[in-house]
Structure 1
Amino acid sequence: MPASERIPPGSLTVPDRLGLLARGELTVRGQVREASNAVLLCSVAYEGREAECVYKPVAGERPLWDFPDGTLARREVAAYEVSEATGWGLVPPTVLRDGPYGPGMVQLWIEGDPSASLLALVDGEDPGDGWKAVGLAQVAEDRTALLVHADDVRLRRLAVLDAVINNGDRKGGHLLPAADGRLYAIDHGVTFHVDDKLRTLLWGWAGEPLPEEALEVLAALEASLAPGARLATRLAELLTAAEVTAVRERVAALRASGRHPEPSGRWPAIPWPPV
């Protein structure tokens, strides 16, 4: 059998990457031990091509009090499907498939650019140009600092996506700015709940009018979520009927308000730990 050629993620089309992830042979190379659920680093090889990926088996999911057991992998795939429907490509290619430890989510590995700075702690009340204030963070027993994120169109798009998918756990470590200038976001298992669960570090635009681009994307999403439309049909394979209905309602509410959502006040708006 000829050796596989390792393929840089950006050199394949989306269908090629999905085919590689869905049909390739998975080989476990390691484990992310600090993750709350089982996260396995793998290589995937198919028809002479090879790439790195992450495999999260359903069997390795820790039970959550507010989400049904064994559903996180499907929610990760659903987040990818919604991201693709926006046209923003914020979530790496993600599939649901069988693997060495049973069915689970498999996602293309994205190497983040360590030199990119999207989050910061600053003294004072004014974060300065190019930054949006999130809130105060306790950084020592005797000092607090302002938690800020970059005033970046890529993050603003992600804030809209998170509002649509009802992301309950948008942390700084889930942001992967790539060397090619693209931004990717990972870890979408805690999403699509029927109740408002939005918790995020991207509150900098809270209450501000949505950009025209976002309103156009939301209009397209609303059409694609109509019963029988492509995205609605795909989400129905991954989520409950009530959860799909809740997605429609969130999109409609965002369009009606024309503004970025604000914290509900029913629970902490920022996930902990924030990174």
Structure 2
Amino acid sequence: MEIEGRLVEASNTTLRVILTADGHTFRAVYKPVRGERPLWDFPHGTLAAREVAAYAVSDALGWDIVPTTVMRDGPLGPGSCQLWLDEVTEPPVDFVPADELPRGWLPIAAAEDDAGRPYLLAHADDPGLARMAVFDAIVNNADRKGGHVLATPDRRLYGVDHGICFHTEDKLRTVLWGFAGRALAPDVAVALRGFDAGILSDLLAAAEVEALQTRVKHLVADGTLPQPPDDRHAIPWPPI
């Protein structure tokens, strides 16, 4: 693993690295545990494991939402290592002028620019994005910003930056509330019924694994995506 550079806008130490093995070379995002800033509501030194756990959930469900993510011992010690996506296009989440909402997009919140012009925070009504909203609901994603949704030229959608997921308390904050109240797709419900949170026992605390399994059970029983809470902020800041 060779460090290529640092993503300076990230809140924790986030490095782009080059991985070389058996004559193959890949780029990846390396987030060492030692570079994590303490948070008041998440145990210190656990964010890298949560990144890996998010990939494990995506992989177990067969949804391919999170790029391949593993724990590796790099130049700055143990940390998560996630495959870098070289080619991305504009994400299907954005602020748009209030009178120019793209066809097929769902408005989330009203906003204004510095000149007072009205805008909307909105996202596409896309099946892949709806499945990501389900994923966020079960992993209890506290930070689904628009910039954490990556779209590739072949129209595939990926979610990244899952360090603050899997809390036992309800922390869901997302820009994907356009799907609130929508029924789960049949194939999504089938995948959730077969999911076993026990696969995360080496990455999360026992209470977090149990809370994950409970969220999955309740979501399947309800059959619909959750509504935004009215007792706390439901959208992360900044949204994009």
Matched residue, 2:134: 160
Matched residue, 1:50: 25
Matched residue, 1:199: 173
**TM-aligned CA deviation for residue 141 of structure 1:** 5.5
Query: Is 1:235 equivalent to 2:209 in the alignment?
Result: no
2: distance between equivalents of 1:32 and 1:117?
A: 22
2:178 partner SS: coil
Q: Please provide the CA RMSD for this pair.
A: 1.5
Matched residue, 1:213: 187
2: distance between equivalents of 1:241 and 1:116?
A: 35
1:251 partner SS: helix
**1:40-92 CA distances to partner (integer Å, 9 max, x unpaired)?**
01000011111000100000001111000000000000000000111110100
Matched residue, 1:80: 55
Q: 1:185 to 1:112 in 2, by over 3 A?
A: farther
**TM-aligned CA deviation for residue 217 of structure 1:** 1.7
Counterpart contact for 2:139–2:166, Cα < 8 Å: yes
**TM-aligned CA deviation for residue 159 of structure 1:** 0.3
**TM-aligned CA deviation for residue 219 of structure 1:** 1.1
Q: How does 1:16-165 map to 2 (within 5 A)?
A: 26-115=1-90, 117-124=92-99, 127=101, 129-140=103-114, 142-165=116-139
1:194 partner SS: coil
Matched residue, 1:3: none
2:134 partner SS: helix
- For structure 1, list consecutive stretches of 5 or more residues without a partner in the other structure: 1-25, 226-231
1: distance between equivalents of 2:103 and 2:187?
A: 22
- For structure 2, list consecutive stretches of 5 or more residues without a partner in the other structure: none
1: distance between equivalents of 2:163 and 2:223?
A: 27
**TM-aligned CA deviation for residue 143 of structure 1:** 3.5
Q: 1:154 to 1:71 in 2, by over 3 A?
A: same
Equivalent of 1:267 in 225, 232, 235: 232
Q: Post-superposition, which runs of at least 4 consecutive aligned residues in structure 1 deviate over 4 A?
A: none
1: distance between equivalents of 2:69 and 2:4?
A: 19
2: distance between equivalents of 1:211 and 1:140?
A: 40
**TM-aligned CA deviation for residue 135 of structure 1:** 1.2
TM-score, normalized by length of structure 1?
Answer: 0.83
**1:71-119 CA distances to partner (integer Å, 9 max, x unpaired)?**
0000000000000111110100000121100110001001242355443
% identity of equivalent residues:
49
1: distance between equivalents of 2:166 and 2:232?
A: 17
2: distance between equivalents of 1:210 and 1:98?
A: 39
2: distance between equivalents of 1:38 and 1:137?
A: 31
- Residue correspondences, number: 240
